[in-house]
Structure 1
Amino acid sequence: MFGITDLTTYIIGTILIVILPGPNSLYVMSIASRFGIKTGYMGALGVYTGDTILILCTALGAASLLHAFPLLFIGLKVVGALYLSYLGIKLIISAYKTFFPRKSVQLHSIDSTAYKSPEAIRPFRTALTISILNPKAILFYLSFFVQFVDPAYSYPALTFILLALILQIISMSYLSILIFSGIKLATYFNENYKLTATAVALVGLLFCGFGFKLATSTL
């Protein structure tokens, strides 16, 4: 159908890939739990936009460009790794401040970037940056999509677009689940600030881990 060789397998594979923990989903859930549904969806929109840009880059041959110029790939890896590590360190610092609050200040929530308002953390821009600073995603889209494209189909671009739309629908549905789950958990965590600090510190360590993994990845 429309040049897709095995739609059922593609959907199952996409769902399994999307639900794997990653910096995008963790970031969206964390800001939703602290700032509410609107802020969570601003972050989700950033992820959606970033993924769309990467998919378009893939279609326009960015993967071949990265293969042809290894230094470009290395540069993108370094920038992306540093940014993820930066976010992770900010999370750990904020978790520490929450776990050991000053006696004169009672903290009931933790902010992932040490700011005090949703506007200050710029959820859309941060999520967009996390998404696009990952050249491995371009290579993933290219290698994953081509497995389900019928080479004999007359309009392969249409097939590519449909596969991308399916992936984005699944991704946004999953992010919505995380956003509303984060809101429900927020009340509990706000009443147990030390538990919140511990959880966010673990997320911070995961972000640092994502940065290290990106920095050490290869083509």
Structure 2
Amino acid sequence: MVPLNDWLLFAAAALFVAVTPGPNMVYLLSRSLCQGRRAGVISLLGVVVGFLAHMFAAAVGLTALFMAVPLAYELLKWAGAAYLLYLAWQAVKPGARSPFEAQDLPADPPRKLFLMGFFTNLLNPKIAVFYLSIFPQFVSPAHGSVFAQSVQLGLTQIVVSFCVNLSIVLSAATLALWFARSPRWLAAQRYVMGTVLAALAVRLAMEQRRTA
């Protein structure tokens, strides 16, 4: 299994990725504001199923990759660090868009809400890159089954993201109003997020390759 220190660091990375603006957050916030909490929760369940699809695809792929090309870790390590730096820049760049700028969406039936949440996440490049570039930094054949470690990390990421997004769904109207009235806090939050993501990127780039 993944060592505790690595697991905690991964959970922190998953948290900061979850709170950065992206298609899932914008869609869930917009849906909750336009159609209510129930619609937001149904959409979120679809998002969770999309996460499961990403997780199993990454777990199977990483297992095959570590068995066939152990040195691929180095390439994925730098890809992961670059991705975190990209997210850090997205958080602090001039004119960065707040995820609390909701879109106007029409009312949809429950089945469509679920499917929209599923496909929004399944086709979300932010999540795909996260699974493919960040996972390998915390997986090592020396700690047992690569597949089992990937599932452990995937479930951690899903739980973290679910909690963040559920909080957004349940308090969408309050959050949108509060952030609209607190632009300075929102700007400060972006810079704190960017700093932490950049620090994680540096830490991952300095990590030594793990061997069996």
Same fold? TM cut 0.5? yes
Which amino acid is 2:12 matched to? Answer: L
Contact 2:91 2:193 survives alignment (8 Å): yes
Q: Which amino acid aligns with 1:184?
A: L
The TM-score, its normalising length taken from structure 2, stands at 0.55
The answer to whether residue 195 in structure 2 is matched with residue 195 in structure 1 is no
Q: For residues 14-61 of structure 1, what are the alpha-carbon distances to aligned partners after superposition, in whole Å with 9 as ceiling and x for unaligned?
A: 975664353332247844445443565565556544444443343123
Segments of 5+ residues of structure 1 without an aligned counterpart are: 5-9, 99-108, 150-158
Partner of 1:56: 60
Identical aligned residues as a percent: 8
Alpha carbons 1:81, 1:210 under 8 Å: kept: yes
Structure 2: give runs of 5+ residues left out of the alignment. 33-39, 106-115
Aligned length: 177
TM-score w.r.t. the length of structure 1 is 0.54
Tell whether the 8 Å contact from 2:6 to 2:138 is kept in structure 1 after alignment: no
* Pairwise CA RMSD: 4.4
User: What is the identity, as a one-letter code, of the residue corresponding to 2:59?
Assistant: I
User: Larger C-alpha radius of gyration, 1 or 2?
Assistant: 1
Q: How does 1:37-186 map to 2 (within 5 A)?
A: 37=40, 40=44, 44=48, 47-62=51-66, 64-67=70-73, 70=74, 72-73=75-76, 76-77=79-80, 79-89=82-92, 93-95=96-98, 109-110=100-101, 116=103, 124=122, 125-132=124-131, 134=133, 136-142=134-140, 146-147=142-143, 149=144, 160-186=146-172
Tell me the SS of whatever aligns to 1:64: coil
Q: Is this contact kept in 2: 1:57–1:138, CA < 8 A?
A: no
Q: Alignment partner of 2:12: what SS?
A: coil
- 2 CA distance for matches of 1:91 and 1:30? 20
